[in-house]
């Protein structure tokens, strides 16, 4: 089965638990709305790619790690879209969860997705109990306090923002968890995989910043110009478009160079380069090549 099929199957299994008879149906529907239909699934694919490169020996636990990371990503999107934050009416070209189901269910959908992520890890690790704590800690660090997504979002409410901490926590942390959890799921040491995830996370953020100033709402499936409107830092605005593309090239090179020795290092390097080009608008990808 290819990576995307594995991820969708693991997420469907997690959703099936959430949708067991006896629960409140509208909350289950709100959660499904936030997880399906799929986005790019960038983070869980990264998790699976690293596990494969490390010589994966237990697909169940890798799938659980990948699904948990995506559930947490979806949770962060649902809460980021809330009126108290971005107040975004749309997401992936459809109504955001609070627009479709109301604010109470959007808050609860995010909460329950966080919980479901940890339950998914626990179920997937039944055959490898000694790998569960490292996975919970890698993933927890990426989403909680003081260095995870919640911390990243909270920097927007601080009188003084530590910019590097803000960006690292808001985007880099979950990418780092994706590579580290992939390694941990395969029984490898996670720490050497942190740098790869952090570089890819920053690269991803630069692409996002470029798209926020160059794309259209139709192409992107969400509003553009949001950073400027909300006064948030944007690499393309700060460095100019050519500067942002150069920074992206540099980050991808650094990422590729950071891959630790492992059985599948060559394939992983090739995959990183393809993915980096794929997300940029075609005219920028050409100019950067």
What residues make contact with a copy of itself under the rule CB under 8 A?
Answer: 17-28, 31, 75, 79, 82, 84-85, 101-105, 107-108, 110-112, 114-116, 118-119, 121-123, 125-126, 129-130, 132-133, 136-137, 140-141, 143-148, 150-151, 153-158, 162, 165, 169
Rounded distance, CA 35 to CA 31, Å? 6
Shorter beta-carbon distance to a copy of itself: residue 110 or 190: 110
Closest by Cα among 212, 238, 193, 195 to 53: 193
Orientation of helix 103-124 relative to helix 132-143, angle to 10°: 150
Using CB atoms within 10 A of its CB, is residue 95 exposed (0-12), middle (13-18) or buried (19+)?
middle
Question: Shortest gap between Cβ of 111 and a copy of itself (angstroms)?
Answer: 5
Shorter beta-carbon distance to a copy of itself: residue 52 or 143: 143
Q: Give every CB contact of residue 88 below 8 A, 6+ residues apart in sequence.
A: 80, 81, 96, 222, 223, 226
> CA 10, 178, 127: angle at the middle one, nearest 5?
50
Question: Shortest gap between Cβ of 18 and a copy of itself (angstroms)?
Answer: 4
Question: Shortest gap between Cβ of 228 and a copy of itself (angstroms)?
Answer: 20
Question: Shortest gap between Cβ of 271 and a copy of itself (angstroms)?
Answer: 29
Question: Shortest gap between Cβ of 4 and a copy of itself (angstroms)?
Answer: 25
Shorter beta-carbon distance to a copy of itself: residue 202 or 275: 202
Shorter beta-carbon distance to a copy of itself: residue 82 or 241: 82
Shorter beta-carbon distance to a copy of itself: residue 41 or 98: 98
Shorter beta-carbon distance to a copy of itself: residue 108 or 206: 108
Shorter beta-carbon distance to a copy of itself: residue 148 or 201: 148
Question: Shortest gap between Cβ of 166 and a copy of itself (angstroms)?
Answer: 8
Question: Shortest gap between Cβ of 7 and a copy of itself (angstroms)?
Answer: 20
| CB-based contact 233:155 (threshold 8 Å) | no
Closest by Cα among 197, 167, 168 to 180: 197
Closest by Cα among 53, 207, 60 to 128: 60
- Which residue is it, tokens 């942190």? 194
Residue 188 phi, psi dihedral angles, 5° rounding: -95, 165
């Amino acid at each position: 089965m290819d990576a995307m099929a594995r991820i969708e199957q693991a997420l469907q299994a997690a959703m099936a638990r959430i949708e067991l008879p006896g629960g409140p149906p509208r909350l289950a529907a709100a959660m499904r709305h936030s997880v399906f239909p799929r986005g790019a699934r960038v983070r869980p694919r990264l998790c699976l790619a690293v596990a494969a490169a490390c010589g994966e020996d237990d697909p169940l636990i890798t799938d659980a790690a990948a699904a948990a990371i995506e559930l947490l990503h979806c949770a962060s999107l649902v809460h980021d879209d809330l009126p108290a934050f971005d107040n975004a009416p749309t997401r992936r070209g459809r109504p955001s969860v609070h627009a479709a189901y109301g604010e109470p269910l959007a808050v609860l959908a995010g909460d329950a997705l966080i919980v479901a992520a940890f339950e998914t890890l626990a179920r997937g690790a039944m055959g490898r109990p000694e790998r569960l704590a490292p996975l919970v800690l890698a993933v927890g660090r990426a989403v909680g306090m003081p260095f995870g997504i919640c911390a990243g979002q909270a920097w927007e409410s601080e009188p003084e923002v530590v910019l590097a901490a803000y960006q690292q926590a808001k985007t880099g942390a979950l990418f780092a968890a994706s590579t580290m959890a992939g390694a941990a799921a395969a029984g490898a040491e996670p720490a050497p995989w942190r740098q790869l995830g952090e570089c890819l996370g920053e690269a991803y953020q630069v692409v996002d910043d470029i798209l926020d100033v160059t794309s259209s709402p139709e192409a992107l499936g969400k509003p553009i110009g949001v950073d400027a409107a909300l006064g948030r830092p944007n690499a393309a605005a700060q460095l100019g478009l050519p500067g942002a593309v150069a920074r992206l090239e540099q980050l991808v090179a650094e990422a590729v160079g950071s891959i630790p020795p492992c059985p599948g290092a060559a394939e992983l390097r090739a995959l990183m380069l393809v993915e980096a080009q794929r997300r940029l608008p075609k005219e920028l990808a050409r100019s950067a090549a």
